[in-house]
């Protein structure tokens, strides 16, 4: 009953096309923003901020990026981590060579470089589809990993082998404690999420979905497949690059290629599939799932056995559970957690009545 | 230009290429028969190899081990068919592909959970380090044996697909699941056959690779290399898997040795994929594959 | 159901597309041989013929997907060379498909809105912020899409995902999407296929309305002779890739060659 939308009549197209047409949704979003920006800083401790919330946000951004490419535009990619790496390294290289550049500009530069590389490796999508395209993105993944590892130029010929990320500061305020980092990442990610949501409901979003659903028909109504796909690669890689820069600078504190290997690519793909392809909330739900599950398992494990289970065993069980969930979601609800959430909301409409 | 060295690298490449082909064969089987690209083939290789080596370590005689492992792989095929293939029977192939990615993770986790992840040393009686000498080139004996085993397997499978009733039924299934069902081909049974056969091929590949590298997690990433093999050779072609394997094996070794000095080492990590990419742009169906036609 | 035949002979005949002696082959297979056809502006032209006659190939040549190996196609008086598939819509040619080609991940409204894409401008920045032109054009084109929805009487299903719609309504949505392009020439590939009598009547009514109200020239492939005879101004008959008749429905139905083609000569 709480969630009924009866009585909410839209009298103009404008209001019907608002980003959150249902009043209750708007309230919920406002509360969520309030909680995230105001409440959490007060109640969360450093561990939660640094080890859970910040990684969650950064990976959600990467999942958002992949969702644009795979969920909306239907171009499967197994090279997400490589594009993240490009963003991280490009940002780092700019700051190292031009130290006066504010780090936010460096981040945007990282995103732009990643977008260019993304478009380059997206060119094969003009001729190949489906898992053939997945192979091309694998090429990107391995090649970029190799490039960044083998050529000292990218690491500024640093002999120590581990590059520390440059410090961040805005207008004299240093961003060096978990709370300020959290707020920074939160702001960036929320802005990006809104941007993607807006793109999805505009002409480019529809063009992407048309290409995904039936590219021959999309061409017949005048959609330029090449431009649409390359824009998808560009936007997606920009977001992934940004996420990579955040991951390196804020989560790890170091800029290293090993953080962006093929396992990371699969991790993000899993987030998108489990969370729901083609939905903004899906990116967050999927990321949340993948981050919280290991913690849950760990705690569960120690409760059941009384002592900590070896990290190796946890890792194996994680693999099994992730794999099982992927299959489960693909069978039961290919639209992932996001759709399950939607169904729950629809049930809420009637609650407490059964039908 | 040291020609003997070239021959040595070349032959080494060819022979390791044959080993890639062994893994690729499993992919081809499943793809030919169900249109599914089984990303989990690598995990199956690992699982088969782990089962095999752990049984040997426990002292089970080799013939019994082979029989038990074969049985396990058949059980795995039945499990996969029941739990994953049947519910997804009408879905887009891309969904099935992603499901096999999930399956890959599941089997990898499962295999290491029950068998442990410490390296298993596998000795099947062939000396790894002995080599033939041809001129000044050293050709590894083990690699030659692996090539012969792979060659034999390929021959058997090619004949099977071409000349048997079941082989034809498998090709029908690959073309169109629903149509095959409507002419009475029992989909479930076919799939169990196919995935079991792929499982056995995985076993052979696992034993061969395991002897060479030791049975460990890294084997499943080797399987990722089979993907470029398939792209180059064509997904639906058994001879293509062989030729593709040879090209990849040779190509990456030659690139590593000859280009490595100029542009850095580790080229073999990405070279096969770049090669595959180029082939994809020029001839998407691969050297021996069938052209894919889309109709509206 | 006999529709009033329109009196179009009083207006000047303007040729929209002139197809001159085209031949089209696929490898050794000759799909069309020396076919000439004129499409007159404002008319409803039906292309009929037995199965395998080359009707779909003809439609694809008209739309520009296939380029004939021999012969020329003139569009509005100018020779048309090979064009990219996505430019066809911009030229003013829209089509529907035999097996419905709707975007299954979208609602009916979204499908039709996607048809407006060629008339929309692209500015990613403004679209991401949903400000200014990004928002304004969404509202303007929503208005246009709603006009089409009203015209096709599908208001109640506009927010339904198209995969859930019954076949007849899906065909209507696909027509709506083609209309969203505001085409000069509309190609309909078996628009009545799989429909019952009521659905066919509705579709006929819509096709006639499109032709009369919007002035759109329509070329359709159709097997239902009743429909063809009732709503077409002219009929072209193909058989084994050759045009064997061309004229008004009455002229064509009494031609011996046409009767032979359908019934089988001898």
**Is residue B274 scored above 70 in pLDDT?**
yes
Note the Cα A53 to chain centre separation in Å: 14
pLDDT of residue C113: 95
CB B176 within 8 A of CB B58: no
Q: What is the DSSP string of chain B?
A: --HHHHHHHHHHHHHHHHHHHHHHHHHHHHHHHHS---TTHHHHHHHHHHHHHHHHHTT--HHHHHHHHHHHHHHHHHHHIIIIITTTTTS-HHHHHHHHHHHHHHHHHHHHHHH-SS-B----S--SS-EEEETTEEEEHHHHHHHHHHHHHHHHHHHHHHHSHHHHHHHHHHH-HHHHHHTT--HHHHHHHHHHHHHHHHHHHHHHHHHHH-BSTHHHHHHHTHHHHHHHH-TT-HHHHHHHHHHHHHHHHHIIIIIHHHH-S-GGGTHHHHHHHHHHHH-TTTTTPPPP----
CB B217 within 8 A of CB B233: no
Neighbours of C131 (CB within 10 A): 13
Cα separation, C58 vs B179, whole angstroms: 30
- CA dihedral A247→A250→A255→A257, nearest 10 degrees, is -20
Paired tokens of B128? 């790894």
How does residue B262 score in pLDDT terms, banded at 50, 70 and 90?
confident
Question: Best mutation site among B31, B80, B81, B98 for testing chain A: the one with the most A CBs within 10 Å?
Answer: B98
Domain ranges, ordered by start, for chain A: 21-261
Of the two residues A161 and C207, the one the predictor is more confident about is C207
ipTM for the assembly: 0.88
Paired tokens of B277? 């990419």
Does B273 reside within a domain?
no
Q: Domain range holding B55? A: 21-231
Hey, are the CB atoms on B277 and A124 less than 8 Å from each other?
Answer: yes
Q: Which residue of C has its CA nearest to A73?
A: C105
Show Cβ contacts of residue A308 under 8 Å, excluding neighbours closer than 6 positions: A298, A301, A302
Does C130 reside within a domain?
yes
Candidate from A207-211, A350-354, B120-124 with smallest mean pLDDT: A350-354
How does residue C266 score in pLDDT terms, banded at 50, 70 and 90?
very low
Q: Which residue of A has its CA nearest to C145?
A: A13
Q: Would an 8 Å CB–CB cutoff place B265 in contact with chain A?
A: yes
Q: Name residue, tokens 């021999």.
A: C70
Does B226 reside within a domain?
yes
CA distance B144 to chain A (A): 29
Cα separation, B242 vs B253, whole angstroms: 17
Task: Give C101's contacts in chain B (Cβ within 8 Å).
Answer: 296
Cα separation, B125 vs B103, whole angstroms: 33
Cα separation, A294 vs A297, whole angstroms: 5
Paired tokens of A231? 């824009």
Candidate from A232-236, B88-92, C62-66 with smallest mean pLDDT: B88-92
For C103, which of A16, A203, A210 is closest by C-beta distance?
A: A210
Q: Which residue of A has its CA nearest to C101?
A: A217
Number of domains in chain B: 1
CA distance B34 to chain C (A): 25
Cα separation, A229 vs A118, whole angstroms: 11
Question: Best mutation site among C127, C171, C179, C180 for testing chain A: the one with the most A CBs within 10 Å?
Answer: C127
How does residue A1 score in pLDDT terms, banded at 50, 70 and 90?
low
pLDDT of residue A9: 65
How does residue B281 score in pLDDT terms, banded at 50, 70 and 90?
confident
Closest CA to C20 of C4, C36, C5, C7: C36
In the stretch 223-262 of chain B, residues with CB closer than 8 A to chain A read 224, 227-228, 231
Q: Is C21 left (phi over 0), alpha (psi -120 to 50) or beta?
A: left
Alpha helix positions (H), chain A: 13-16, 23-34, 40-43, 46-47, 54-66, 80-97, 103-122, 130-150, 178-200, 203-213, 215-220, 225-246, 262-275, 280-305, 311-332, 336-350
How does residue B125 score in pLDDT terms, banded at 50, 70 and 90?
low
For residue B173, what are the CA distances in angstroms to B208, B291, C165? 30, 17, 30
pTM for this one? 0.88
Q: What is the pLDDT of residues A242-289, one digit of tens each?
A: 999 999 999 998 888 889 998 899 999 999 988 988 889 999 999 999
Residues of C in CB contact (< 8 Å) with A are: 63, 85-90, 94-95, 97, 101-106, 110, 113-118, 120, 122, 124, 127-130, 134, 137-139, 142-143, 146, 177-178, 180-181
Cα separation, A153 vs A145, whole angstroms: 14
Q: Which residue of C has its CA nearest to A226?
A: C86
Q: Would an 8 Å CB–CB cutoff place B94 in contact with chain A?
A: yes
**Is residue C11 scored above 70 in pLDDT?**
no
Task: Give C90's contacts in chain A (Cβ within 8 Å).
Answer: 222
Most confident residue range from A3-7, A187-191, C253-257: A187-191
Closest CA to A54 of A184, A197, A245: A184
Paired tokens of A342? 């939607």
Q: Which residue of A has its CA nearest to C118?
A: A222
Q: Which residue of C has its CA nearest to B296?
A: C99
Paired tokens of C104? 């299954």
Note the Cα A345 to chain centre separation in Å: 24
Biggest CA-to-CA distance, chain C: 70
Does C59 reside within a domain?
no
Cα separation, C135 vs A208, whole angstroms: 18
Q: Name residue, tokens 């058997």.
A: B156
Number of domains in chain C: 1
Q: Domain range holding C137? A: 107-180
Q: How many residues does chain C have?
A: 266
Q: What is the pLDDT of residues A189-214, one digit of tens each?
A: 999 999 999 999 999 999 999 999 99
Question: Best mutation site among A5, A74, A119, A202 for testing chain C: the one with the most C CBs within 10 Å?
Answer: A202
DSSP for residue A48: I
Task: Give B92's contacts in chain C (Cβ within 8 Å).
Answer: none
Hey, are the CB atoms on A136 and B112 less than 8 Å from each other?
Answer: no
Closest CA to C169 of C183, C153, C181: C153
Q: Which residue of B has its CA nearest to C97?
A: B296
Query: Chains A, C: CB contacts under 8 A, how many?
Result: 107
**Is residue B296 scored above 50 in pLDDT?**
no
CB B226 within 8 A of CB B20: yes
Hey, are the CB atoms on A198 and C85 less than 8 Å from each other?
Answer: no
Task: Give B227's contacts in chain A (Cβ within 8 Å).
Answer: 135, 138
How confident is the prediction for chain C on average, in pLDDT? 88
**Is residue C208 scored above 90 in pLDDT?**
yes
CB C45 within 8 A of CB C234: yes
How does residue C204 score in pLDDT terms, banded at 50, 70 and 90?
very high
Closest CA to A60 of A318, A308, A251, A327: A251
Paired tokens of C101? 């080609």
CB C45 within 8 A of CB C39: yes
Task: Give B296's contacts in chain C (Cβ within 8 Å).
Answer: 97-99, 101
Q: Which residue of B has its CA nearest to C100?
A: B296
Q: Is the dihedral of CA A268, A273, A278, A284 positive or negative?
A: negative
Q: Would an 8 Å CB–CB cutoff place A13 in contact with chain C?
A: yes
Percent of chain A with pLDDT over 70: 93
CA distance A204 to chain B (A): 23
CB B122 within 8 A of CB B210: yes
Neighbouring chains of B at 3+ CB pairs within 8 Å? Answer: A, C
Of the two residues C213 and B98, the one the predictor is more confident about is C213
CB B21 within 8 A of CB B208: no
Query: Burial of B290 by CB count in 10 Å (0-12 exposed, 13-18 middle, 19+ buried)?
Result: middle
Task: Give C115's contacts in chain A (Cβ within 8 Å).
Answer: 221
Hey, are the CB atoms on A217 and C88 less than 8 Å from each other?
Answer: no
Neighbours of B173 (CB within 10 A): 22
Paired tokens of C114? 């996607």
Task: Give B91's contacts in chain C (Cβ within 8 Å).
Answer: none
Task: Give B87's contacts in chain A (Cβ within 8 Å).
Answer: 331
**Is residue A326 scored above 80 in pLDDT?**
yes
Of the two residues B271 and B170, the one the predictor is more confident about is B271
**Is residue A86 scored above 80 in pLDDT?**
yes
Q: Would an 8 Å CB–CB cutoff place A64 in contact with chain C?
A: no
Q: Would an 8 Å CB–CB cutoff place A320 in contact with chain B?
A: yes
Q: What is the pLDDT of residues C19-62, one digit of tens each?
A: 999 999 988 888 999 999 999 999 999 999 888 888 989 999 99
How does residue A56 score in pLDDT terms, banded at 50, 70 and 90?
very high
Q: Would an 8 Å CB–CB cutoff place B209 in contact with chain A?
A: no
Q: Name residue, tokens 């629903």.
A: B178
pLDDT of residue C182: 95
pLDDT of residue B124: 67
Of the two residues C113 and B255, the one the predictor is more confident about is C113
Task: Give A334's contacts in chain B (Cβ within 8 Å).
Answer: 91, 95
What is the average pLDDT across A6-10? 65
What is the average pLDDT across A216-233? 93
How confident is the prediction for chain B on average, in pLDDT? 81
Q: What is the DSSP string of C63-129?
A: HTSS--SEEEEEETTEE-----TTHHHHHTEEEE-SS----TTSBHHHHHHHTTGGGS---HHHHHH
Of the two residues A294 and A53, the one the predictor is more confident about is A53
Cα separation, C49 vs C36, whole angstroms: 15
For C89, which of A195, A221, A225 is closest by C-beta distance?
A: A221
**Could you give phi then psi for residue B150, rounded to 5 degrees?**
-60, -45
Q: Is the peptide bond before A330 cis (omega within 30 degrees of 0)?
A: no
Hey, are the CB atoms on A76 and B108 less than 8 Å from each other?
Answer: no
**Is residue C7 scored above 50 in pLDDT?**
no
Task: Give C97's contacts in chain B (Cβ within 8 Å).
Answer: 296
pLDDT of residue A353: 67
For A130, which of B94, B104, B281 is closest by C-beta distance?
A: B94
For A210, which of C95, C114, C129 is closest by C-beta distance?
A: C114
Q: Which residue of C has its CA nearest to B295?
A: C99
**Helix or strand (DSSP H, E) at C141:** helix C132-151
Q: Name residue, tokens 């994929």.
A: B273
pLDDT of residue A335: 80
Closest CA to B199 of B20, B29, B74: B74
pLDDT of residue A354: 63
CB B296 within 8 A of CB A216: yes
Q: Would an 8 Å CB–CB cutoff place A207 in contact with chain C?
A: yes
Does C76 reside within a domain?
no
Q: Would an 8 Å CB–CB cutoff place A289 in contact with chain B?
A: no
Q: Which residue of A has its CA nearest to C109?
A: A206
Does B66 reside within a domain?
yes
Q: Name residue, tokens 């103009």.
A: A12
How does residue A338 score in pLDDT terms, banded at 50, 70 and 90?
confident
Q: What is the pLDDT of residues A297-314, one digit of tens each?
A: 878 777 777 666 677 788
Hey, are the CB atoms on A209 and C106 less than 8 Å from each other?
Answer: yes
CA distance C136 to chain B (A): 35
Does C50 reside within a domain?
no
CB C204 within 8 A of CB C231: yes
Q: Would an 8 Å CB–CB cutoff place A325 in contact with chain B?
A: yes
pLDDT of residue A225: 93
What is the average pLDDT across C155-175? 93
**Helix or strand (DSSP H, E) at C242:** strand C242-247
Task: Give B228's contacts in chain A (Cβ within 8 Å).
Answer: 135
């Amino acid at each position: 009953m709480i969630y009924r939308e009866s009585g909410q009549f839209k009298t103009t197209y404008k209001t019907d096309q608002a980003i959150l047409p249902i009043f209750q949704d708007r309230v919920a979003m406002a509360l969520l923003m309030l909680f995230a920006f105001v409440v959490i800083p007060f109640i969360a401790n450093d561990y939660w901020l640094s080890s859970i919330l910040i990684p969650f946000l950064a990976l959600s951004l990467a999942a958002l990026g992949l969702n644009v490419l795979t969920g909306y535009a239907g171009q499967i990619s197994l090279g997400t981590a490589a594009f993240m790496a490009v963003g991280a390294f490009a940002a780092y290289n700019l700051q190292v060579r031009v130290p006066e550049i504010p780090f936010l500009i460096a981040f945007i530069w990282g995103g732009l470089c990643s977008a260019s590389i993304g478009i380059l490796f997206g060119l094969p999508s003009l001729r190949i589809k489906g898992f053939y395209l997945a192979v091309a993105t694998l090429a990107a993944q391995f090649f970029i990993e190799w490039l960044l590892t083998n050529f000292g130029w990218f690491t500024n010929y640093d002999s120590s082998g581990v590059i520390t990320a440059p410090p961040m500061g805005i207008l004299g305020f240093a961003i060096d404690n978990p709370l300020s980092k959290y707020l920074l990442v939160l702001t960036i990610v929320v802005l990006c999420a809104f941007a993607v949501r807006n793109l999805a409901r505009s002409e480019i979003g529809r063009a992407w979905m048309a290409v995904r659903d039936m590219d021959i028909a999309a061409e017949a109504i005048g959609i330029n497949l090449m431009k649409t796909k390359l824009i998808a690669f560009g936007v997606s890689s920009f977001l992934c690059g940004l996420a990579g820069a955040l991951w390196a600078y804020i989560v790890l504190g170091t800029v290293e290629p090993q953080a962006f290997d093929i396992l990371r690519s699969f991790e993000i793909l899993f987030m998108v599939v489990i969370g729901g392809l083609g939905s903004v909330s899906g990116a967050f739900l999927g990321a949340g799932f993948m981050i919280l599950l290991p913690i849950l398992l760990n705690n569960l494990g120690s409760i059941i056995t009384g002592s900590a289970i070896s990290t190796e065993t946890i890792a194996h069980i994680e693999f099994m559970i992730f794999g099982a969930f992927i299959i489960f979601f693909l069978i039961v609800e290919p639209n992932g957690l996001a759709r399950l959430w939607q169904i729950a909301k629809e049930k809420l409409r009637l609650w407490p009545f059964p039908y | 230009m040291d020609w003997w060295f070239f021959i040595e690298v070349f032959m080494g490449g060819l022979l390791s290429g044959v080993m890639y082909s062994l893994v690729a064969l499993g992919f081809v089987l499943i793809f030919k028969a169900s249109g599914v690209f089984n990303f989990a083939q690598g995990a199956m290789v690992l699982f088969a190899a782990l089962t095999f080596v752990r049984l040997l370590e426990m002292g089970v005689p080799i013939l019994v081990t082979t029989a038990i492992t074969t049985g396990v792989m058949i059980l795995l095929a039945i499990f996969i068919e029941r739990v994953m293939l049947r519910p997804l029977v009408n879905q887009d192939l891309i969904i099935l592909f992603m499901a096999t990615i999930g399956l890959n993770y599941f089997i990898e986790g499962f295999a290491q959970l029950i068998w442990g992840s410490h390296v298993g040393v596998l000795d099947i009686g062939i000396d790894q380090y002995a080599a033939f000498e041809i001129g000044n080139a050293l050709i590894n004996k083990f690699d030659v044996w692996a090539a012969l085993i792979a060659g034999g397997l390929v021959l058997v499978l090619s004949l099977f697909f071409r000349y048997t009733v079941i082989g034809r039924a498998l090709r029908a299934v690959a073309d169109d699941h629903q149509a095959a069902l409507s002419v009475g081909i029992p989909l479930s049974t076919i799939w169990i056959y196919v995935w079991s056969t792929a499982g056995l091929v995985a076993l052979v590949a696992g034993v061969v690779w395991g002897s060479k590298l030791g049975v460990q997690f890294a084997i499943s990433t080797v399987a990722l290399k089979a993907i470029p093999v398939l792209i180059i050779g064509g997904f639906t072609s058994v001879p293509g898997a062989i030729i593709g394997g040879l090209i990849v094996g040779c190509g990456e070794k030659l690139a590593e040795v000859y280009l490595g000095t100029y542009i850095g080492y580790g080229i073999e990590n990405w070279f096969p994929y770049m090669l595959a990419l180029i082939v994809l742009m020029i001839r998407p169906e691969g050297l021996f594959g069938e052209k894919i036609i889309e109709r509206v | 159901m006999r529709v009033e035949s329109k009196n179009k002979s009083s207006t000047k005949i303007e040729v929209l597309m002139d197809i001159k002696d085209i031949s089209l082959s696929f490898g050794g297979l000759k799909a069309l041989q020396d076919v000439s056809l004129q499409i007159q502006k404002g008319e409803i032209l039906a292309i009929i013929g037995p199965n395998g006659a080359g009707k779909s190939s003809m439609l694809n040549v008209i739309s520009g997907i296939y380029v004939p190996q021999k012969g020329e196609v003139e569009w509005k008086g100018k020779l048309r060379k090979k064009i990219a598939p996505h430019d066809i819509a911009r030229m003013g040619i829209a089509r529907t498909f035999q097996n419905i080609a709707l975007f299954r991940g979208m609602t009916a409204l979204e499908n039709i809105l996607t048809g407006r894409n060629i008339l929309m401008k692209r500015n990613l920045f403004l679209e991401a912020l949903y400000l200014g032109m990004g928002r304004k054009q969404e509202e303007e084109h929503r208005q246009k899409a709603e006009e089409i929805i009203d015209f096709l009487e599908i208001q109640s299903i506009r927010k339904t995902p198209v995969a859930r719609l019954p076949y007849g309504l899906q065909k209507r949505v696909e027509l709506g999407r083609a209309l969203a392009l505001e085409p000069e020439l509309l190609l309909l590939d078996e628009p009545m296929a799989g429909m019952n009598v009521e659905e066919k009547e509705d579709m006929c009514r819509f096709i006639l309305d499109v032709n009369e109200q919007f002035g759109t020239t329509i070329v359709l492939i159709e097997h239902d002779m009743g429909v063809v005879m009732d709503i077409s101004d002219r009929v072209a008959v193909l058989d084994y890739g050759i045009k064997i008749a061309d004229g008004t429905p009455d002229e064509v139905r009494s031609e011996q060659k046409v009767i032979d083609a359908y019934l089988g000569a001898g």
